[in-house]
Amino acid sequence: MVTSLSALSAEKSAAGAGIQEDLFPLPPQRKIRHGRQKNHLIPIVPRDFVTAPFFAAARQTEPRVLIINDVKWVIGDAHPTGRAASPALDMRHGRACFTLLSFRDRMQNGREIRFSMNEFCRRYAQSRGGRYSREILDLLFDLRETWVRRESADGTIERFTIIGDIKTLEKPLRRREAIRALTEQGEFWLDRISLSPEFFGLLQQWERLARIRLDVLTSMTSPTAQAIYTFLPSRAVHHAESDPFAIRLATLLEQVSHPVPPHKSVRKKIFTQNRFSILSQLDGKEILNGILRVSLADTKDASDYNLLAWVEKDGVPSPDQPPICNSKLLEAWRAAGRSKQAFDQRLKYIQPLSFYARELMERASVAIDGNERFFEMAAALLGNRFEAIVCEAKTDAVEGDPGRTPTGRLIYRLVESVRQMQ
């Protein structure tokens, strides 16, 4: 669906937008709401993006160099046209990149991505405010214009941008009384975005992919906390409270490209000041397979503080491990004459429930909480048929026949549809 944006000049659209000064902060400790707003939004991203601070906490004025798993990354490499290089990417671009990837249809697995700008704003900043549209478009243009260089251990070098193309449409201004209508300037509408072929190629290498909780990331108000959250869980996931992962604050701040104060007390203050401190934003946050816990402790030489991190896993099911009750889907799949291997292959393309499907379920009085993983699996197995079945459940409810247990009726219909697949 083509979505209206703020009026932009053709020159800016062609050259790429500059970086805006607003960081689009969220209200303090804004909670993720349940029901229609609850959406885990777990995008599939290159593993290097979540095993090191690929996106900086602070804005950058020059290229950044990172060594990640024996791969050298130069972020903000020289532009092939010879013009001034774009600055290295920061967490605003990281949020925009992860949000964009959350709209990928992995069943089709194409380079082009279409989305509603209103929904993009909601996922990016938990807001539907139209004022975000222009700033987000600026960030998307940065992802198109900022070049990165990837040098493998064997000497292979790749240079590319994350976004390959942004297609816009120019239409006459709809408000003819506006002063702009008297000029030759038109109104730009976003049509679609295409990933670059090189970046799309990275997303096809399953052994080099990882997942990230976008909803948790965007609930944080601090770019520094966001930058740390993108990679800290990968370090802490194999540690318990009795043996936490430890990293000096000076080292951590340097890794996320945050200015490093010379005094230990000031470094601590960065993490603990304010009611909603960086430490409080990180502690207790959900990751894919548990709860992230963090605290501070003096280093052995007392010259700095260590950030201690570990993961509590009890009682938190991993999204990669479906509950036993979902074996109903596997039984139905096998009853249709299909193999377990084909079942697992189809579930590789599992993705969060769409906003449209959630809305239909709410209108059908279907309980999503506690059944979300089942519905996501059913959607991956059934494809387009899934939303058609959910729409039937909504129609039943509107016509006054939701059934004694609307949730149970929908689950039965989905299982039977899998059983009868041709």
C-alpha to C-alpha distance for 241 and 74, rounded to whole angstroms: 35
Say what the pLDDT of residue 326 is. 56
Pick from 313, 356, 111, 69: nearest CA to 207: 69
Confidence at 6, pLDDT banded by 50, 70, 90: very low
Say what the pLDDT of residue 172 is. 57
Say what the pLDDT of residue 314 is. 58
Pick from 232, 346, 333: nearest CA to 281: 232
Q: Is 129 helix (H, G, I), strand (E, B) or coil?
A: coil
C-alpha to C-alpha distance for 405 and 420, rounded to whole angstroms: 23
C-alpha to C-alpha distance for 185 and 377, rounded to whole angstroms: 47
Burial class (CB in 10 A: 0-12, 13-18, 19+), 347: middle
Q: What is the DSSP string of 353-417?
A: PPHHHHHHHHHTT---TTTHHHHHHHHHHHTHHHHHHHHHHHHHHHTT---S-HHHHHHHHHHHH
The residue-averaged pLDDT of 81-88 equals 73
Instruction: Looking at mean pLDDT, say which of 58-62, 242-246, 418-422 comes out highest.
Output: 242-246
Whether residue 8 is predicted with pLDDT greater than 50 in this model: the reply is: no
Q: Is 280 helix (H, G, I), strand (E, B) or coil?
A: helix
Locate the domains of the chain by residue range: 3-207, 220-312, 324-419
Instruction: Looking at mean pLDDT, say which of 14-28, 93-107, 128-142, 336-350 comes out highest.
Output: 93-107
Whether residue 150 is predicted with pLDDT greater than 50 in this model: the reply is: yes
> Percent of the chain at pLDDT above 70?
80
- pTM comes to 0.64
Pick from 325, 331, 343: nearest CA to 382: 343
C-alpha to C-alpha distance for 192 and 112, rounded to whole angstroms: 7
247 beta partners: 307
Mean residue pLDDT across the chain: 79
Rounded to 5 degrees, what are φ and ψ at 44? Answer: -90, 125
* Residue written as token pair 């903000």: 76
> Percent of the chain at pLDDT above 90?
32
Whether residue 18 is predicted with pLDDT greater than 80 in this model: the reply is: no
Pick the CATH number of 220-312 from 1.10.150, 1.10.4100, 3.10.450, 1.10.10: 1.10.10
The residue-averaged pLDDT of 380-396 equals 88
Say what the pLDDT of residue 290 is. 84
The residue-averaged pLDDT of 349-354 equals 75
Q: What is the DSSP string of 303-359?
A: SSEEEEEEEE-TT---TTS--GGGHHHHHHHHHTT--HHHHHHHHTT--PPPHHHHH
